[in-house]
């Protein structure tokens, strides 16, 4: 899962994703995997809808089972066809040669990649939604009744107040899912809110919670409540961030598919969950998980891309996290054009824990969650970690609070200042100081300063390197330096916000650099949401486990978008997944609460490679005016342009026309013409113009709507929209336009950014573009 930043850091130390990049229809030598001989055999479209396909599937299964009765672990037959089985490499290679098989690849192990956030997003929305039968101008995020959000994650804690079904009507009759029972989970744990719960066995660990939908980690519970949790008044984390908790679509139903354990998320289980979710009848699927930046898998061997393709084809929007491998460019995951990819941003709430030092009690503002028992006045001995070095220790490692290099006698009873240029997280440094008998830790880490890590009852805070100069100067010039660390307080109306989080993975994606990824940004920093009820790890002394927790990651931003998508789906039930995605993207904002452009954590102006179309809003998607619809055929052409074999592409869909064929002549720019809500142009040398075409659908409700185009283009790049006026004569009418990019500068800078906005004075639909050389 793209991991949240506290429990997630813990998971990342356990989870290693080593993923095979396979070609269609063949197996290749893989990175080492922990799959115990488990291979996924992917056969494309669902066999159950086609007699001959069903027979071929059965025949292939029988050949695998012959002499190996327990070889097959999962079968896929609802949304797509295939199975996961324990095979030798020779058997896998043999099966890959079967003409019915699309791909065979080792079972990969993927990793795990709020309350006030909804109020913040509401105030960030400029559009005032009209009151009409399809909208609620007072509380757009309260909509969503009977919309079903499927969550693929670590499971759920059903007793949480966030999953109460008070006031909810009967479960929709179209729901075909189930509530799987286990030793610690019964059918009564499901209700009219939590309508489904499935789990997929993780054989490497026989613990009870591994064979149950119950969440033993917390991640899935947090994600589910963020997307569709019921309203809970008086929610807080031990008094911090107190307020009313609610999900993005509190009236929606939730179905949990537990595909992850404490060792990661198996690809075979992810595919099984997609297969079940398609048959169960979900409307939106939310996946806060994916491959790390080091492995950008081929779509034919990517369980998320494969499952998402079939879900989207059946009208299910699939929302995925972008990953936590930022701020380096080219780190974004889940980049298939049929996936809605979400980056992470901050909001206007800060968890401040201050350092007070010196005889005059000078204050430095720090970040972190701690419940410090220390006095408010500076009276505790202060030391820099480098001064705690053992006689034969390494000073560089000691100053970074490496426990092995520190002298316990020098640390005991003191507040220790730790540097952070060794790659270890603040949580590790806290533990080192605590284990050595220290009474507090001040960690210098500019990068993580904006994210509140949970340090529990041990006084710990993170400060920037700039602010650290004052306390270091004081320590160096004072014979008996003293300090204290104050307990955390929540600060609201913090500015600027939003800011793109440092950890949020960035584009461009190497395999899809002609499509902008990520697509959108949403709050993913310091998000308060439901948690498991037996987590005592970070509870302050004498306190019971908190029913809520504050964590960060693109894992947290993803369900924000899933919740908004469910709201849009409830208001426009016939809209396609791409129409909903378009409505959310084209109504995004790119300004912060200072009225200035959104920035990154470093202070630079954010670009579409950082946040796609911008920061999501809650009301704008309900009245987008125009939408860009991307069809299954568009996605199949994308695979054509990406040089996949036509014979394999045809196996992906049962709805594909029999005469479908890849264009005989096309250029590398063809992908840029996929009808996407954003535009990416590459290989632009300025010597000749580049043209792209887009088609928009009028959903304004005005049969005679007239939209005009405006351009925001960087200096040196000429952008023309032809025509620049779209006059519709009926609702749901489609009209096309061209965008022509040319330049007097040859070549342009590496990447330049701009946007095209269509407006009729009431509604606006903004599309970002990236042009690169």
| pLDDT of the residue at 113 | 77
pLDDT digits (tens, 9 = 90+) for 343-364: 999 999 999 999 999 999 999 9
On whether residue 1 sits in a domain, the answer given is: no
Q: Is residue 72 part of a domain?
A: yes
Same domain, 458 and 553: no
Do 218 and 252 belong together in one domain? yes
- What's the rounded Cα separation, in Å, for the pair 8 and 464? 23
Q: Which of 107, 138, 158 is the C-terminal boundary of a domain?
A: 107
Whether residues 546 and 438 fall in one domain: no
DSSP β-bridge partners for residue 765: 758
What span, in angstroms and rounded, lies between the C-alpha atoms of 735 and 695?
6
- Of 264, 330, 261, nearest to 294 (Cα)? 330
| Contact between residue 290 and residue 320 where contact means Cβ atoms under 8 Å apart | yes
Q: Tell me 327's DSSP state.
A: T
Tokens of 639: 């695979």
pLDDT for 337: 97
Give the pLDDT of residue 263. Answer: 85
- Per-residue model confidence (pLDDT) at position 106: 93
Handedness of CA 202, 206, 211, 217 (dihedral sign): negative
Last residue of a domain, one of 40, 72, 107: 107
Whether residues 333 and 303 fall in one domain? yes
Is there a domain that residue 11 lies in?
A: no
CA 221/CA 213 separation, integer angstroms: 11
Q: Could you give phi then psi for residue 237, rounded to 5 degrees?
A: -110, 95
How high is the pLDDT of residue 47?
A: 66
Q: Is residue 304 a contact partner of residue 341, using CB atoms and an 8 Å limit?
A: no
Domain-embedded: residue 636: no
How many structural domains is the chain composed of?
Answer: 4
Determine the pLDDT at residue 204: 52
Distance, in Å, from the CA atom of 325 to the CA atom of 503, rounded to the nearest integer, reads 6
Cα–Cα distance for residue pair 86/41, rounded to 1 Å: 11
Q: Does one domain contain both 128 and 51? A: no
Q: How far apart are CA 753 and CA 764, in angstroms?
A: 19
282 and 170 share one domain? yes
Look at the chain and count its residues: 773
pLDDT of residue 123: 54
643 within domain boundaries: no
If phi > 0 it is left, if psi is from -120 to 50 it is alpha, else beta; for residue 84 that is beta
**What's the confidence (pLDDT) of residue 60?**
83
Known catalytic residues are 153, 219, 555
CATH number of the domain at 502, please.
3.40.50.200
What pLDDT score does 138 carry? 32
Between CA 320 and CA 322, with CA 321 as vertex, the angle to 5 degrees is: 120
CATH number of the domain to which 68 belongs: 3.30.70.80
Give 496's contacts (C-beta < 8 A, 6+ positions apart).
592, 593, 594, 596, 599
**Domain of residue 428, CATH code:** 3.50.30.30
CA distances (Å), origin 253, targets 178, 229, 272, 369: 13, 9, 21, 32
Burial of 724 (0-12, 13-18, 19+ CB in 10 A): middle
Range of the domain at 754: 675-772
Hunting for tokens 């990019």 — which residue is that? 741
In whole angstroms, what is the distance from residue 224 CA to residue 159 CA?
Answer: 13
The segments of the chain whose pLDDT lies below 70 read 1-36, 47-54, 67, 114-144, 202-209, 744-747
Q: Report residue 376 CA to chain centroid gap.
A: 39
**Where among 65, 84, 107 does a domain terminate?**
107
């Amino acid at each position: 899962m793209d991991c949240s930043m506290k429990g997630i850091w813990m998971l990342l130390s356990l989870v290693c994703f080593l993923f095979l990049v396979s070609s269609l229809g063949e197996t290749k030598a893989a990175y080492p995997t922990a799959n115990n001989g488990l291979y996924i055999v992917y056969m494309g479209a669902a066999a159950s809808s086609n007699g001959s396909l069903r027979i071929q599937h059965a025949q292939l299964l029988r050949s695998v089972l012959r002499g190996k009765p327990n070889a097959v672990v999962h079968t896929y037959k609802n949304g797509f066809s295939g199975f996961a089985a324990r095979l030798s490499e020779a058997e896998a290679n043999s099966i890959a040669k079967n003409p019915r098989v699309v791909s065979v690849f080792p079972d990969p192990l993927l990793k795990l990649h709020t309350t006030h956030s909804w109020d913040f997003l509401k105030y960030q929305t400029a559009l005032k939604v009209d009151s009409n039968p399809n909208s609620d101008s007072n509380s757009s995020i309260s909509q969503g009744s009977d919309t079903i959000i499927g969550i693929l994650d670590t499971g759920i804690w059903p007793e949480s107040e966030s999953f109460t079904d008070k006031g909810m009507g009967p479960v929709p009759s179209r729901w075909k899912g189930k509530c799987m029972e286990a030793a610690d989970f019964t059918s009564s744990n499901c209700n009219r809110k939590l309508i489904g719960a499935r789990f997929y066995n993780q054989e490497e660990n026989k613990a009870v919670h591994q064979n149950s939908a119950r969440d033993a980690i917390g991640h899935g519970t947090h994600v589910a409540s963020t997307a569709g949790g019921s309203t809970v008044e008086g929610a807080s984390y031990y008094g911090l961030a107190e307020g009313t908790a609610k999900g993005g679509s509190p009236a929606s139903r939730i179905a949990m598919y537990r595909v992850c354990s404490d060792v990661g998320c198996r690809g075979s289980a992810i595919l099984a969950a997609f297969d079940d979710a398609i048959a169960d009848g979900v409307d939106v699927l939310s996946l806060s998980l994916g491959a790390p930046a080091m492995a950008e898998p081929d779509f034919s061997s990517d369980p998320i891309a494969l499952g998402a393709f079939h879900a989207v084809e059946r009208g299910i929007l699939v929302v995925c996290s972008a990953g936590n491998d930022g701020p380096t460019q080219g780190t974004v995951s889940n980049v298939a054009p049929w996936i809605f990819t979400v980056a992470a941003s901050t909001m206007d709430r800060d968890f401040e824990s201050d350092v007070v030092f010196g005889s005059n009690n000078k204050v430095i503002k720090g970040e972190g969650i701690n419940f410090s028992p220390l006095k408010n006045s500076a009276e505790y001995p202060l030391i820099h970690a480098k001064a705690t070095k053992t006689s034969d220790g390494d000073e560089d490692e000691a100053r970074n609070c490496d426990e092995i290099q520190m002298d316990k006698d020098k640390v005991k009873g003191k507040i220790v200042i730790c540097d952070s240029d060794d790659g270890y997280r603040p949580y590790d440094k806290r533990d080192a100081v605590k284990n050595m008998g220290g009474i507090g830790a001040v960690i210098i880490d500019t990068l993580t300063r904006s994210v509140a890590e949970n340090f529990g009852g041990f006084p710990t805070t993170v400060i920037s390197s700039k602010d650290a100069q004052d306390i270091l100067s004081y320590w160096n010039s004072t014979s008996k330096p003293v300090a204290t660390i104050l307990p955390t307080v929540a600060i609201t109306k913090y500015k600027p916000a939003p800011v793109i989080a440092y950890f949020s993975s960035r584009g461009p994606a190497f395999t899809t650099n002609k499509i902008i990824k990520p697509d959108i940004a949403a709050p993913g920093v310091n998000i308060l949401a439901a948690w498991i009820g037996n987590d005592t790890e970070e509870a302050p002394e004498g306190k019971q486990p908190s029913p809520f927790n504050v964590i960060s990651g693109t894992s947290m931003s993803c369900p924000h978008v899933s919740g908004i998508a469910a709201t849009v789906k409830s208001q426009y039930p016939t809209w396609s997944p791409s129409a909903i995605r378009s409505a959310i993207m084209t109504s995004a904002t790119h300004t912060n609460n200072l009225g200035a452009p959104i920035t990154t954590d470093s202070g630079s102006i954010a670009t579409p490679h950082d946040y796609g179309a911008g920061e999501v809003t809650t009301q704008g998607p309900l009245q987008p005016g125009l939408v860009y619809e991307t069809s299954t055929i568009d996605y199949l052409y994308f695979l054509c342009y990406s040089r996949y074999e036509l014979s394999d592409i045809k196996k992906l869909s049962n709805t594909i026309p029999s005469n479908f064929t890849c264009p005989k002549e096309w250029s590398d720019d063809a992908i840029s013409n996929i009808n996407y809500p954003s535009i990416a142009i590459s290989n632009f040398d300025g010597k000749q113009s580049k043209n792209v075409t887009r088609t928009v659908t009028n959903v304004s409700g005005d049969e005679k709507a007239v939209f005009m185009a405006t351009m925001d283009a960087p200096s040196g790049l000429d952008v023309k929209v032809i025509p620049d006026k779209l006059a519709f004569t009926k609702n749901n009418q489609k009209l096309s336009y061209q965008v022509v990019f040319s330049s007097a500068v040859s070549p342009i800078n590496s990447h330049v950014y701009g946007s095209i906005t269509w407006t009729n004075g009431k509604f606006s639909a903004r599309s970002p573009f990236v042009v690169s050389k």
